[in-house]
Structure 1
């Protein structure tokens, strides 16, 4: 089985490799075709599906596509981190799952509304570089009890479980 993930982000690639250790995992830089900073569950899910669809449309047989997308969403006028994943088979079956949610500081609202991506906001907030490719917002705000890779691995486990159950 070949698995193509629609991202070159190392945390997302490692998450897929962790859940599919006996399969060939390759990455492909594909657009999400949603905002660079998705602002709802619906938009974040759509971005994950779009990435997975593009990867599953490869010419090779025995291939599934996986898309992982991070975003933000409102609950009671407060922003939360959200994340979605999609797995698409060669015959077009689509499986989706979502994972952890954690509240974001109120001060993040304005920059995010102005189009600044959460990864850039996190770099400034944490006074670090490349948070999105390392621990992620989830790692910062949980004191590294949960890393971005672990968060996405959980979503990929949900995807794999659905796919194996329904096939």
Structure 2
């Protein structure tokens, strides 16, 4: 099986590889930076889902792989504050489109204010933590859960949801 991954972000790639390698003996991966065709900082569930689906479709179009996967992180406003959200999409050559979402946590008010002012979460978290590359490592979820849940772990769950649904539909 050949899996096209619509990102080169290590946290996302590792999540996809772990899930598929647990399920399949013969699996190959091709990672390509693909466009989400949504804003750099998705601000709603709908926009975040659309970004994941676009990445999955786009990476499948430009490869000879069997399956394309797109993962997208974003934020979503609610009556209880702004939450980190994460969505994934799996598309295959038979036209199946699978969508799954994962864990959510509320962001601190100072982060939410900056996002509403137009900043992007990745660079904002680098500034907030005085470190670099948070989005490629533990992510905001890792920072705000004191490392108990990392970005990779969060996306691992999403990929499990995608793969399980796909296996069920295609059995």
How many pairs were matched up? Answer: 166
Matched, 1:4 2:4: yes
Q: 1:146 to 1:92 in 2, by over 3 A?
A: same
Q: Retained in 2: the 8 A contact 1:55–1:64?
A: no
Residue 131 of structure 1 and its aligned partner are, at CA, apart by 0.3
TM-score, normalised to structure 1's length?
Answer: 0.95
Give the whole-Å Cα distance in 1 for the aligned partners of 2:66 and 2:14: 18
In the alignment, is residue 44 of structure 1 matched against residue 48 of structure 2? yes
**Normalised by the size of structure 2, how large is the TM-score?**
0.93
Question: Separation in 1 of the partners of 2:140 and 2:104?
Answer: 11
Q: Does 1:74 align with 2:77?
A: yes
Q: Find the partner of 1:109 among 108, 112, 132.
A: 112
Give the distance between the partners of 2:159 and 2:58, measured in 1 at CA.
17
Match in the other structure for 1:121: 124
CA contact (8 A) 1:16 1:25 kept: no
Q: 1:92, CA displacement in angstroms?
A: 1.9
CA RMSD of aligned residues (A): 1.2
- Cα deviation, 1:69-99, whole Å, max 9, x if unaligned, reads 0000011051100000000001221000000
Residue 137 in structure 1 maps to residue 133 in structure 2: no
User: Which residue pairs with 2:15 in the alignment?
Assistant: 15
Give the gaps of 5 or more residues in structure 1. Answer: none
What is the deviation of 1:102? 0.2
Say which of 26, 34, 44 aligns to 2:38: 34
Select which of 51, 58, 61 maps to 2:62. Answer: 58
Partner Cα separation in structure 2 for residue 114 and residue 66 of structure 1: 31
Report what 1:25 is aligned to. Answer: 29
Distance 1:84 1:59 in 2: 22
The 4+ residue runs of structure 1 with deviation greater than 6 A are none
| Structure 2 gap segments, 5+ residues each | none
